């Protein structure tokens, strides 16, 4: 039966620094999805992981550099926030029309190097991406008590298309990329270039039950036959030498 | 209850030119998902729509131009297939490392202008994208007999990240883009730039139950509270003047 069930968890309490996310997820799943089961994929938003790991910066403590001030003035941004963005940045990919597309120290290419003001308590607080989202995913996974996979999701824009989708910035317990190269299609034709980013597709599927303005930071995908695999979300990052758009 | 069910249809017969997709979908849904229901989102792969609309080209009938031959030789491709790709192309966005990233006449930016050899019967046949995928989606929707939304999905790569995901190239009966700008998050912060490509996320979610090498060309997403809206999948295309990566 090729059927999936996706359930957004509504009863997670407010998450603060040091929170035990695994335990909170197990408790909420018991109330809302008949308990966590072997084979579930647990999708957790970056925001709640960053809060638990205290990756929150109070902008009142930030002294912007001259470069940050200059950029901020040019694009009407908060110079303190631009300073935090630059600290998270390995390389500036594009800087135009008020948009900062950055490559982070992890290798993610995204707006503002993942620094974000939304869904963080406190008027002057911004959140940073986790230091190592694959490790964050693995730590959550270990605490679940069943053989489940964990994906840390974040909201990224993309070239050429309007609107954001969700991507997997951290992955544990599953192969994030399915390789169909060499397999045959339904007519016997040998597929040549198809690798499927299943972890990103799972992140987007989970995003459908996580409304932006509400507190649904975790979703359970049940019924997806993932394969166990190594390498985590890092495997979804294209090497700069293979990339035509940097 | 924020819960979704996604079911891939396994009993659709082989689709040929002129097939009545609406009827085939209604019949299969009766067998596999208790009948189509108001509020369902029906996701149909591009390949099956292109077959029904006879957007199949027999490469034996194609005479490659000198330019097509030159490109084909440089990248070890079939000159007849390159010719078909060039005919579908409005503008070449990138041409490197054997990859042709094209802007199609519709405005989609994708590899090979959507010309594809996989999952098409006949050794010399390739499929083209539908002429007007929004119209294709609307025509399918009208034949369903219930108030459902329809998405035509296709498999696109993207910069910076490995692996493909599914995107919505045609949309009918729903708003493909949710605009959160001006709304407040859970802490009262006014969201400034969030537009969510829900149609693309639905396409990716449906893709999770459509294996590449099997015949599952349609999936039903049940429980997603879409909003009706105009404009179709075209609204997901970023205007070239707003795009930093062409």
pLDDT single digits (tens) A159-187: 999 999 999 999 999 999 988 888 888 77
**Range of B1's domain?**
1-45+153-236
Question: Closest chain A residue to B226 measured between Cα atoms?
Answer: A208
- Is A32 inside any structural domain? yes
Mark B91-116 as b/e (b = at least 16 C-beta within 10 Å).
eebbeeeeebbbbbebebbbbbbbbb
Is A241 at the interface with chain B, CB within 8 A? no
Mark B162-199 as b/e (b = at least 16 C-beta within 10 Å).
bbbbbbbbbbbbbbbbbebeeeebbeebebeebbbbbb
For residues B209 and B167, membership in a common domain is answered with yes
- Is B243 inside any structural domain? no
Domain end, chosen from A74, A93, A128, is at A128
In whole angstroms, what is the distance from residue A171 CA to residue A43 CA? 9
Q: Does this model's pTM top 0.90?
A: yes
For residues A41 and A159, membership in a common domain is answered with yes
List the one residue out of B220, B241, B163 whose CA is nearest residue B38.
B220
Question: Closest chain B residue to A237 measured between Cα atoms?
Answer: B161
List the one residue out of A156, A48, A178 whose CA is nearest residue A106.
A156
For residues A147 and A122, membership in a common domain is answered with no
Return the HEC string of A132-156.
CHHHHHHHHHHCCCCCCEEEEEEEE
Count: domains in chain A: 2
For residues A148 and A39, membership in a common domain is answered with yes
Query: Is A238 in Cβ contact with B159 (below 8 Å)?
Result: yes
Are B110 and B89 in contact by the 8 Å Cβ rule? The answer is: no
Measure the CA angle with vertex B23, ends B19 and B28; round to 5°: 110
Q: Which B-chain residues 94-113 have CB contacts (< 8 A) with chain A?
A: 94, 96-97, 99, 101, 108-109
| pLDDT at residue B187 in the model | 79
Instruction: Specify which residues A102 forms β-bridges with.
Output: A92, A110
For residues A141 and A205, membership in a common domain is answered with yes
List the one residue out of B74, B56, B72, B53 whose CA is nearest residue B64.
B72
Rounded mean pLDDT, B172-192: 85
Query: Is A2 in Cβ contact with B245 (below 8 Å)?
Result: no
Is A63 at the interface with chain B, CB within 8 A? no
What was the ipTM of the complex prediction?
0.96
CATH number of the CATH domain containing A113: 3.90.1660.10
Minimum-distance CB partner of B216 among A2, A121, A164? A2
Instruction: Specify which residues B58 forms β-bridges with.
Output: B125
- Is A243 inside any structural domain? no
Helices (H), A76-128: 79-87
List pLDDT tens digits, range B61-111: 999 999 999 999 998 999 999 999 999 999 999 999 889 999 999 999 999
Query: Is B4 in Cβ contact with A6 (below 8 Å)?
Result: yes
């Amino acid at each position: 039966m090729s059927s999936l069930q996706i359930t957004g968890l509504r009863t997670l309490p407010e998450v603060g620094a040091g929170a035990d996310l695994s335990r909170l997820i197990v408790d909420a799943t018991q109330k809302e999805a008949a308990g966590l089961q072997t084979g579930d994929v647990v999708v957790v938003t970056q925001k709640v992981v960053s809060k638990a790991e205290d990756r929150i910066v109070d902008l009142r403590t930030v002294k912007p550099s001259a470069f940050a001030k200059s950029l901020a003035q040019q694009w009407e941004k908060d110079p303190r926030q631009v300073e935090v963005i630059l600290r998270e940045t390995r390389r500036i990919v594009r800087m135009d029309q008020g948009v900062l597309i950055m490559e982070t120290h992890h290798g993610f290419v995204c707006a503002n190097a993942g620094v974000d003001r939304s869904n963080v308590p406190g008027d002057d607080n911004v959140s940073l991406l986790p230091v190592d989202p694959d490790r964050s995913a693995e730590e959550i996974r270990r605490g679940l008590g069943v053989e489940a996979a964990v994906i840390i999701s974040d909201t990224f824009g993309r070239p050429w298309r309007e609107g954001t989708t969700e991507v997997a910035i951290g992955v544990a317990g599953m192969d994030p990329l399915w390789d169909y190269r060499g397999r045959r299609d339904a007519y016997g034709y040998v597929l040549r270039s198809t690798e499927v980013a299943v972890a990103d597709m799972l992140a987007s599927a989970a995003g459908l039950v996580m409304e932006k303005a509400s507190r649904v930071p975790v979703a359970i995908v049940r019924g997806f036959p993932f394969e166990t695999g190594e390498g985590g979300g890092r495997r979804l990052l294209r090497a700069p030498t293979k990339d035509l758009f940097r």
